[in-house]
Amino acid sequence: MCGFVGFTNNIKQTEETLHKMMDTIIHRGPDSSGEYIDDFVALGFRRLSIIDLEFGNQPMFNEDKSLVLVFNGEIYNSRELRDVLVKRGHDFSNQSDSEVLLHAYEEFGYDFVKELRGMFAFIIWDKNNSRIFGARDMFGIKPLHYAKMEGSFIFGSEIKSFLKHPSFKKELNREALENYLSFQYSPCCETFFRGVYKLPPAHYFVYENEKLEISRYWMVNFEEEGGKQLEEWADEIERVFDDSVEAHKISDVEVGSFLSSGVDSSYVACSANVDKTFTVGFEQHKYNEIDYAKELSKYIGVKNINKIISPEEFWDNFAKIQYHMDEPLADPAAVALYFVCKIASEHVKVVLSGEGADELFGGYNVYKDPVENALYEKIPYGIRKLVAKFLSLFGERRGINYFIRRGQKVEERFIGNAYMFKKREREKILKHPVYASSADKVCKPFYDMVKNKDDVTKMQFIDLNMWMVGDILLKADRMSMANSLELRVPFLDKKVVEVSRKIPLKFRVNRENTKFALRRAALRRMPKQVADKKKLGFPVPIRVWLKTDKYYNIVRKAFKSEEASEFFNVSEILKLLENHKNGKKDNSRKIWTIYTFIVWYRQFF
């Protein structure tokens, strides 16, 4: 695992600039560094040594040094690809998966990315063709950003390194703020820094003759396969997941596993045969999964290392966490993830985690909504819409909200696991709204791709392409890398998705539970109460803290600050805070979304 930076070389202080950019991401690779500079391009690399500790340094070259690579990630089928390439006459100088990428590019051209199994973001500088080729893995596990500014093409693992480049112009993208207020993360390709973009998952780019072309190379296709019973699907899941875990454990250093109270991390821990699991929790019992983790760790015979996060630690580290995030992320679980990565990094260099299971196997509780309300939704949409319109005149109330939601199509009401501020709400709290697209319009291109699927599959597809990339995997990468830890996600595997995409809806989500087939497979390795446990997420007591004077006052001070008044109608956001503290309404997530932006803005602007 590592990080890289680079730019087309048309500036005067090339070496000095490259070193500054590399130093900014030293947390991604504290073990060693490398650089390559010629008349056209400058490449910098920071390494966290995991595989081929002696010879895996980068930038890496092919035999005649016409290709130069910087690569962040792991290729789990590199040995199989190496065998194919050797048979075709390629000579290898080391055992790293990095060299496989160079020879595969030589042999197969751009299409070689379709053959890769792993997590990756990489750049290949093709000197003979004056071409830069960049690619990102099929799920978006590893990040890749780019910008074209003042004649320079800049790229790298983290945006913060771009700020050290003399051509970089730092400007806030206010449209990103409006979208963020709805999603709690930045959902579009253009980031909070105007002119800086994220390469989407399953895409590659070619930069040649100062022109950038971006292409998609893969898309998940949910296609139910009939004929198999539940236990047969459990067999398939068990087989493919065990294979994925073995691939994800390939390492020349010790591998550990995260463990919460959920079935996903529990299934990873029960399958991985590691020596250590890692868990964090909070003082309040409702927000503490440590006792459970200790019990399961004892059940499978491994050592559990855990930590209670104090409120002071949580709040004191929040600014640093937003700095590492690059863009604001208002998911409180990111802070908990930071601390579990921190304790894990004191014992191992690689850790396995359960991200991706919910999106692939149908795990979020909200996915039960279309199943549980199927009878009411048989009423013609026009009638449901009229009922919802009439009842909305009475405002938001328990009971009424059910019918209002049923008067919307899934494309209107679901944008992912978080929906903070509707368009009218965010325009009300913003001092100078720029009237960015509504949240449903941002999601529309993805809904259009699955317009003939059932509602649960549509929701999974939205989460796979938006929520998982913008929230789940962003915090997984940034919080692990902030602690120089490699986080691997065996559910997000090429072979696993080939099974999960075929599972019939009734074995994904039904009235009994979510992730139905996955839980059946997990039941073979853990107690029933664990396998069947309801999805909780990563519980953080933000709601409770915001009602105490100490943390209420911290947020109130931020809401009355100069930074807040630049963007928000202060009276409106203070009203959200007061109503929460007084118990009139649980506004904790909305408050946290605003507060997170203010804290992030202070870090970068």
Element holding 70 (H helix, E strand):
strand 67-75
Question: Reduced to 3 states, what is the DSSP secondary structure of residue 2?
Answer: strand
Q: Which residues of 317-334 are buried (b: 16+ CB within 10 A; e: fewer)?
A: bbeebbbbbbbbbbbbbb
Question: Whose CA is closest to 280, among 322, 333, 336, 320?
Answer: 336
Nearest CA to 498 out of 217, 142, 239 is that of 239
Structure token pair of residue 332: 């409180």
Distance CA 109, CA 104 (A): 7
508-519 as b/e, with b when 16 or more CB fall inside 10 Å?
bbeeebbbbbbb
Identify the burial level of 151 via C-beta atoms within 10 angstroms of its C-beta, where 0-12 means exposed, 13-18 middle and 19 or more buried: exposed
Residues in the chain: 605
Return the residue matching tokens 């035999």. Answer: 63
548 touches 309 (CB < 8 A):
no
Decide if 102 contacts 61 (C-beta within 8 A).
Answer: yes
C-alpha 282/C-alpha 303 separation (Å) is: 20
Query: H or E element: which one contains 218?
Result: none
Name the residue type at position 407: G
Q: Which residues pair with 140 in a beta bridge?
A: none
Task: Classify residue 460 as exposed, middle or buried by CB count within 10 Å of its CB (0-12, 13-18, 19+).
Answer: buried
- How many whole angstroms separate alpha carbon 461 and alpha carbon 363? 13
**Do 347 and 256 form a contact (C-beta atoms < 8 A)?**
yes
Strand, helix or coil for residue 67? strand
Question: How far is the first Cα of the chain from the last one, in angstroms, to the nearest whole number?
Answer: 29
Tokens encoding 342: 């921190």
Place of tokens 């989407």: 200
- Are the beta carbons of 41 and 6 closer than 8 angstroms? yes
- Per the annotation, the verdict on 341 as an active-site residue is no
What is the chain's Cα-based Rg? 24
**Catalytic positions, please?**
2
